Amino acid sequence: MIARPSCAALCILLTAVPAWAGFEEGRRAYDRADYPVAYREWVALAERGDPAAQFLVGFMHERGQSVPPDPAVAVTWYRRAAAHGDVHAQFRLGFLFAFGRGVERDDAQAADWYGRAAEQGNRAAQAALDQLRAEGRLAGPGGSREALLLRSAAERGAVAAQYQLALRYASGEGVPRDATEAARWYRQAAEQGLAPAQYQLALRYANGDGVTKDYDEAAKWYRRAALQGVAFAQFNLGVRYANGQGVERDPVQAYLWFSLAAQGLLGKEADTARQARDAIKSTLTPEQVTRGEEMMKTWRPTPENPGASAATPRR
């Protein structure tokens, strides 16, 4: 990801754009949750062609901040920003096309926008593009020669190649479908700290896909991916703590991980995480709720490899 921008991430983004007076007023208003003022300041800049403001206006339409939530209007603004090369807008367009929000679902368009963002170094976009391929939604690589070259790089320890090769074995793209080989290469990448690979490996241990079902191993790899910020892993780790599956049952930990997942996911997935969070919260004492919320306030993702992106992959 694949993940939506959080408020914290949005604040980081706001510090990286030109400090126009109107833009800064919008930023300050957004920081204090005065969304009508932020929208008014940014839409004026957006209409004059500022791509950063166009992205933020689109984001507010997508989120329903000061305006009714409307992903179709968000797409219009994201297109304008993306046409000027705004990487965040390109990523959001990829996501909306991939899931048919505000537009008809179109995997080719999703791949196009994810690809443009990935070319600018956005690792979440690259992970999302890889996941489209893994789900069989895009044409596979160009034959077995590419797979052989990929395997050669993977065997030399290139973590990206290991992950790519695992995706291909999982989907049968350029190689025969082989769940055992997929799990083996996911493990190679996961052990090097690649968060999407850790999440995929956890799924396989949870489901017995290419490996013997092992809830302890599933919980271990969900945890490593969750600590790096993968929202789907955070949700699944919450499930494990709620049910005592592979870990000792701990409703406070479940509350923490469901809460984090609810922040990192979108749409129906976020709704599911919020429902799980609220359900577990109803079983907690006031003291436990307070402890969980304090943990939330201090929690930060901890990448295993400095500079690595912990994109949220899609199942």
Query: Where residue 160 falls among pLDDT bands split at 50, 70, 90?
Result: confident
Q: Beta strands of the chain (E only): which ranges?
A: none
- pLDDT averaged over the chain? 85
DSSP per-residue letters across 132-194: HHHTT-S---SSHHHHHHHHHHHHTT-HHHHHHHHHHHHHTSSS---HHHHHHHHHHHHHTT-
Residue 132's pLDDT is: 82
Interval 138-157 mean pLDDT:
63
CA distance 138 to 109: 11
The fraction of the chain above a pLDDT of 70, given in percent, is 86
Over residues 62-97, the pLDDT tens digits come to: 999 999 999 999 999 999 999 999 999 999 999 999
Q: Token digits for 142? A: 């160009």
Q: Kindly state the average pLDDT of the residues 227-247.
A: 93
| Closest of 41, 39, 77, 86 to residue 58, by C-alpha | 77
- pLDDT value at position 311? 46
The CATH superfamily assigned to 7-134 is Tetratricopeptide repeat domain (1.25.40.10)
DSSP conformation class of 283: T
pLDDT band at 111 (very low <50, low <70, confident <90, very high): confident
Task: Write phi, then psi, for 40 (nearest 5 degrees).
Answer: -60, -45
Residue corresponding to tokens 């973590």: 159
pTM tops 0.85:
no
Whether the pLDDT of residue 98 is over 50: the answer is: yes
In this predicted structure, what is the pLDDT of residue 8?
44
- Amino acid (1-letter code) at residue 309: S
Least confident span in 61-65, 108-112, 135-139, 197-201: 135-139
Q: Is residue 102 a contact partner of residue 75, using CB atoms and an 8 Å limit?
A: yes
Nearest to 196 by CA among 152, 171, 233, 153: 233
Q: What is the pLDDT of residues 269-308, one digit of tens each?
A: 889 999 999 999 999 999 999 999 999 899 998 888 754 4
Of 215, 240, 227, 150, the closest CA to residue 190 belongs to 227
More confident residue, 250 or 22: 250
Single-letter amino acid code for the residue at 241: Y
Side chain identity, residue 209:
D
- pLDDT digit string, tens, across residues 177-213: 899 999 999 999 999 999 999 999 999 999 999 999 9
**Residue boundaries of the structural domains of the chain:** 7-134, 140-192, 212-310
Give 10 or 177, the one with higher predicted confidence.
Answer: 177
What's the CA gap between 270 and 315, in Å, rounded? Answer: 14
Rounded CA separation 100/107 (Å): 9
Cα atoms in the Cβ-side hemisphere of radius 13 Å centred on 13: 19
Give residues with Cβ within 8 angstroms of 104, minimum separation 6: none
Q: Which uninterrupted H or E stretch holds 270?
A: helix 267-281
pLDDT band at 22 (very low <50, low <70, confident <90, very high): confident
Asked whether the beta carbons of 93 and 71 are under 8 A apart, the reply is no
Percent of the chain clearing pLDDT 90 (strictly above): 59
pLDDT of the residue at 21? 59
